Chain A
């Protein structure tokens, strides 16, 4: 599993509430990513980071923000959750030319 953990693994929240998902890696990889997975769409990139405090937007970044204050942690925040953000969220890291994924967080926004 390339030393990637995600927390929480499951979360149910209400529309309009803030939500923060955490990704933690143990191997000091430079690149970290957040993807979401929805039926019919595969995985789509939300944001990524190429170092501490260095982040950039992906394909579906609207409504999401990220922060990386330490190499090992990459946080994804939904400032005001909406039902369209109900999804499974995966964190990933790049090691050499390969990308490895965490176990995922299943988020439901009611």
Chain B
């Protein structure tokens, strides 16, 4: 079983919809949680970064971490066609070399 699980999709929604992307993980020692956005044939781009539990909001994006359930989410409000990309969750321990463990990525398409 993978250390971080993410539904690979694909997920297709209409423009303006609220999108929910999720990851579960098995290592309770993870403390840093990230969401990356990756456009086709590009490198991953850091979208949101959260330390420990709680919520973080940045414009249309909200990241949630529930450490008791080992579950993280990314919500996209008022989704736009430009949000169409692959979204990757990643996480790491608090100590050490900051090595990231990634989910498989979810391919998202926003239809105009």
Report which of B42, B90, B97 forms a contact with A103, defined as CB distance below 8 A.
B42
Chain B residues contacting A48 (CB-CB under 8 Å) are 97, 99
Q: Do B42 and A56 touch (CB < 8 A)?
A: no
Stretch at the interface among A13-21, A68-76, A77-85, A94-102: A94-102
A43 near B102: Cβ-Cβ < 8 Å: yes
The verdict on B76 contacting chain A, using a C-beta distance below 8 Å, is: no
Report how many residues on chain A are interfacial, defined by Cβ distance under 8 Å.
25
Interface residues of B in 1-44 (CB under 8 A from A): 4, 6, 8, 32, 34, 36, 41-44
Query: Chain A interface secondary structure, helix, strand, loop or mixed?
Result: strand
Chain A residue at smallest Cβ distance from B4: A42
In the bound complex, do residue B34 and residue A99 qualify as a contact, i.e. CB atoms below 8 Å apart?
yes
- Evaluate contact between A44 and B98: CB separation under 8 angstroms: no
Q: Does A64 contact B (CB under 8 A)?
A: no
Distance of A90 Cα from B41 Cα, bound (Å) = 11
Tally chain B residues at the interface, Cβ within 8 Å: 25
Query: Which one of B32, B51, B97 lies within 8 Å of A31 (CB-CB)?
Result: B97
**B51, B88, B90: the one within 8 Å of A97 (CB):** B51
Which A residues lie within 8 Å of B46 (CB)? 98-100
A90 x B100 contact (CB < 8 A): no
Instruction: List residues of A (38-86) whose CB comes within 8 Å of B's CBs.
Output: 40-45, 48, 50, 56, 58
Listed A/B pairs (15) with beta-carbon separation below 8 Å: A33-B100, A42-B88, A42-B104, A43-B90, A45-B101, A48-B99, A50-B97, A58-B99, A92-B100, A94-B98, A98-B46, A98-B49, A99-B90, A102-B43, A103-B43
